[in-house]
Chain A
Amino acid sequence: MSTIDIAVVDYGMGNLRSVSKALEHVAPTKNVVVTSHPDDVAKASRVVFPGQGAMPDCIRELDARGLRTAVLDAAQNKPFLGICIGLQMLFEHSEEGDAAGLGLFKGSVKRFATEDMVDSQGEKLKVPHMGWNQVYQHRNLDANVHPLWHSIEDGARFYYVHSYYVQPEDDNIVAGFTHYPNRFTCAVAKDNLFAVQFHPEKSANAGLQLLSNFVDWSPN
C-alpha cells in the first residue's frame, strides 16, 4: 500500500471530484485519495472533510460507514480541513432537521432568519447565500493571522452556497467572518484544525491559495 498524503473523506454525499481535483492541482506530487474507509483516514497525513446537502443526512451517512471515530481522531491530531457541512458537523447541534453534530466544538448551526434578510438599500437577500462574498480574517492580539490565510488578501472573495451558518460559543476559535447581512463565522481554527463555510475548491485563485496553504501547513 502506498502512503496517503491527503485523504478526502467520502461518505456518499455529493460530488467530491471538485475537492480532489483542486487538491491535485495545487499539490501535483501528493497522493490524494477520495476514501470512505476509516483506515485510510487514520493513516493519511492530512485529512479534508467536505460536505454537501443536509447535515442530518451527512451525519447518518458518516455513521453508516463507521467514519465518525476516524474523523474525530483526525480532527484532533493531524492537519484537518473541514469544508461547508464539514465545518457545520463539528458543532453540537444544527437547526437543520434538529440534528446532533459531532460535538467537537460547543455551539450550534443556525438558519439565516428570513426577517433579517434585507441589505442596506432595503433589497431582499436570497437564501441560500449563493455566490462570492468577502472573507475577513481574524487577527489575534499580536495582529497575526492564521497560516492558512497566507498570501490571501483580507476581504478576498470566496464562493459560498449555504442556508445555515455556525455560531461557536468560544470566540477564540473564530478565524474569519463574512457579512450576510449580519456578521457570521465563516472559518474556525484550533490547533491542527481549520474549517471553512465557503468552498475553496470553487473559489478560483483565493481558494487554490488556501488549499495550497493547507498542503504546506505544519501545525505545532
Chain B
Amino acid sequence: MGLAKRIIPCLDVTNGRVVKGVNFLELRDAGDPVEIARRYDEQGADELTFLDITASSDNRGLILHIIEEVASQVFIPLTVGGGVREVEDVRRLLNAGADKVSINTTAVLNPKMVQAAAAKFGSQCIVVAIDAKKVDNQPFEWEVFTHGGRKATGLDAVKWAEYMVSLGAGELLVTSMDRDGTKIGFNNPLNKAISNAVEVPIIASGGVGNLQHLVDGVKEGGADAVLAASIFHYGEYTVRQAKEYMAQHGIEVRL
C-alpha cells in the first residue's frame, strides 16, 4: 500500500457560478460553487480544482470570495486557475486560501513568470496547465494551445512539459483539447508521454464519460491524479462511486 491516486472534481466558474461546456463552448449552469465544493468534500474528493473562466475583468474578483468561503469550510487541497497573469495574482489566490495556483496561457506568453512564482512561493503550489491537441502539421504529435484551445503555439507538448518542470512547476494539469467535453475518455498516449518525460505528478483531464475512463487514465495514461467535471456535476456518479470502482479495478484510492 502506498500513495493513493487522486480524484479531483473540477469546477469551471464564471460570474460566481459553476458551469460546464462542451469543447469550451455552450455553457450550462451547474450550480453554486461553495455548495458543490462541500458536496464533493463529503463524497471523499481528494482535492478540488476551480477554473475561473470569467471573461469580464469586472467580475474576476468574485473567485477570491468563493475561494475564501470554500477554504473556511473544506479542508482538502484547493487549486485555482484561470486568468493568472502575474506573480501578484498568485499571491492573491494563495492568500484567499488556494493551496496551488494553475498557470496556463501566461506560462506560454511569459515562461519566466512560472519561474518567478515558483521561486517566490515554492514549486509545491505552482501547477502548469497544458492544453494539447493532436496535430498533423508539425514534426511532433501533440501541440500546446492557449486561449481555451483557440490559439496554436507551435510548441511540442512533451518538450513544453519538461521545460515547465525545469522552471519550477510542481505538477502538470494536462488537458486534451480533442477530448474535453466529449465523454470518450482521456487521451492516454498524450498523458503517458508527458508522465514518462517528467518527475512531477501529472493530472489527466479532458474527456471523462464513465468510470472506466478514470481507471484507464491511471493504468494506460500513467496519471497520478484524474480530473473530471460533468460526470460529477449532473449526479451521474458520486466521487465515492468513482473511487469504489477504481478500487475494484486494483487502483489504490483513499476511501
A residues neighboring B (CB under 8 Å): 13-15, 17-18, 21-22, 24-25, 52-54, 114, 119, 123-134, 155, 157, 159-162, 179-181, 201-204, 207-208
Among B19-27, B71-79, B135-143, B150-158, the stretch in contact with A: B71-79
Pairwise interchain contact B124-A52, C-beta atoms closer than 8 A: yes
Pairwise interchain contact A203-B224, C-beta atoms closer than 8 A: no
Q: Which residues of B contact A114 (CB under 8 A)?
A: 199
User: Which of A14, A129, A207 has the most C-beta atoms of chain B within 10 angstroms of its own C-beta?
Assistant: A14
Cβ distance B71 to chain A, nearest Cβ, rounded Å:
6
Pairwise interchain contact B4-A180, C-beta atoms closer than 8 A: no
Among B30-38, B93-101, B227-235, the stretch in contact with A: B93-101
Query: Is residue B171 within 8 Å, beta carbon to beta carbon, of the partner chain?
Result: yes
B residues neighboring A (CB under 8 Å): 1-6, 41, 46, 71-72, 75-77, 94-99, 121-125, 170-171, 195-196, 199-201, 222, 224-225, 254
Q: Is the interface of A mostly helix, strand, loop or mixed?
A: mixed
Q: How far is the CA of A21 from the CA of B5 in the complex (A)?
A: 26
Cβ distance B56 to chain A, nearest Cβ, rounded Å:
27
New contact pairs (8) apart from A126-B224, A131-B225, CB-CB < 8 Å = A13-B122, A15-B95, A18-B71, A21-B71, A131-B46, A132-B4, A180-B2, A201-B75
Pairwise interchain contact A18-B3, C-beta atoms closer than 8 A: no
Q: Which residues of B contact A204 (CB under 8 A)?
A: 41, 75-76
Cβ distance A137 to chain B, nearest Cβ, rounded Å:
15
Cβ distance B123 to chain A, nearest Cβ, rounded Å:
7
Known contacts A132-B3, A203-B75, A207-B75, A14 near B171 by CB under 8 Å: no
Pairwise interchain contact B122-A53, C-beta atoms closer than 8 A: yes
Cβ distance B160 to chain A, nearest Cβ, rounded Å:
18
Known contacts A126-B224, A207-B75, A134 near B200 by CB under 8 Å: no
Cβ distance A69 to chain B, nearest Cβ, rounded Å:
26
Pairwise interchain contact B75-A125, C-beta atoms closer than 8 A: no
Q: Which residues of B contact A24 (CB under 8 A)?
A: 72
Identify the closest chain B residue to A200 (Cβ).
B75
Identify the closest chain B residue to A205 (Cβ).
B75
6 closest A-B pairs by beta carbon, nearest first, are: A53-B122, A15-B94, A132-B254, A126-B201, A132-B4, A157-B254
Pairwise interchain contact B254-A130, C-beta atoms closer than 8 A: no
Q: Which residues of A contact B5 (CB under 8 A)?
A: 131
Q: Which residues of A contact B195 (CB under 8 A)?
A: 124
Q: Which residues of B contact A155 (CB under 8 A)?
A: 1
Q: Which residues of B contact A22 (CB under 8 A)?
A: 75
Interface pairs (17), CB distance under 8 Å? A14-B121, A15-B99, A17-B95, A25-B75, A52-B124, A124-B196, A126-B201, A130-B124, A130-B170, A132-B4, A133-B3, A161-B170, A179-B1, A179-B2, A180-B3, A202-B76, A202-B99
